[in-house]
């Protein structure tokens, strides 16, 4: 049995994962029926993706520029959840070693509001 090796690791949003899985599903459909796991994964991604993949990528890049976000994995988490109120942002930051000011939280929420559908 051959093992697969992780060549590259990158955090992606649920929307981007959906885009990738949709392409994989299209390729596999032409060859055979989708597996149960693939169908379940696609269903989950379709249900929980909140933005088109291109908009999610843009939003991650914009959030990464903020000093209170900075890291890609944190920006991805924020985009996946798309918090609407201050307390939801605070929950995302609960495990971080920083406390956000109300102004910093509002800055995040203002950026998110520009991308809401």
CATH for 92: 1.10.150.80
Q: How much is the average pLDDT of 78-105?
A: 94
User: What is the C-alpha separation between 10 and 68, in angstroms, rounded?
Assistant: 21
Q: Cβ of 31: how many Cβ atoms within 10 Å?
A: 6
- The answer, yes or no, to whether residue 110 has pLDDT greater than 60, is yes
Residue range of the domain that includes 21: 14-48
71 and 92 part of one domain? yes
- Report if residue 68 sits inside a domain: yes
pLDDT in tens, 24-43: 898 888 888 888 888 999 99
Q: Tell how far CA 61 is from the center of its chain.
A: 12
60 and 102 part of one domain? yes
Look up residue 60 and give its two tokens.
């991650």
Inter-residue contact 53 to 16 (CB < 8 Å): yes
DSSP 51: S
User: What is the C-alpha separation between 76 and 14, in angstroms, rounded?
Assistant: 9
Confidence of residue 9 (pLDDT cuts 50, 70, 90): confident
Q: What are phi and psi of 100, to 5 degrees?
A: -85, 145
Look up residue 82 and give its two tokens.
């798309």
61 and 97 part of one domain? yes
- Report if residue 64 sits inside a domain: yes
């Amino acid at each position: 049995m051959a093992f697969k090796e992780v060549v590259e690791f990158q955090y992606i949003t649920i929307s981007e994962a959906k885009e990738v899985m949709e392409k994989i599903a299209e390729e596999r459909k032409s060859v055979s029926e989708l597996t149960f796991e693939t169908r379940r994964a696609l269903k989950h991604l379709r249900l929980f993706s909140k933005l088109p993949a291109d908009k999610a990528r843009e939003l991650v890049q914009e959030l990464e520029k903020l000093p209170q976000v900075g890291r890609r994995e944190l920006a991805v988490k924020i985009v996946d959840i798309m918090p609407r109120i201050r307390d939801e942002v605070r929950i995302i930051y609960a495990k971080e070693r920083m406390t956000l000011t109300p102004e910093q939280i509002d800055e995040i929420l203002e950026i998110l509001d520009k991308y809401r559908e």
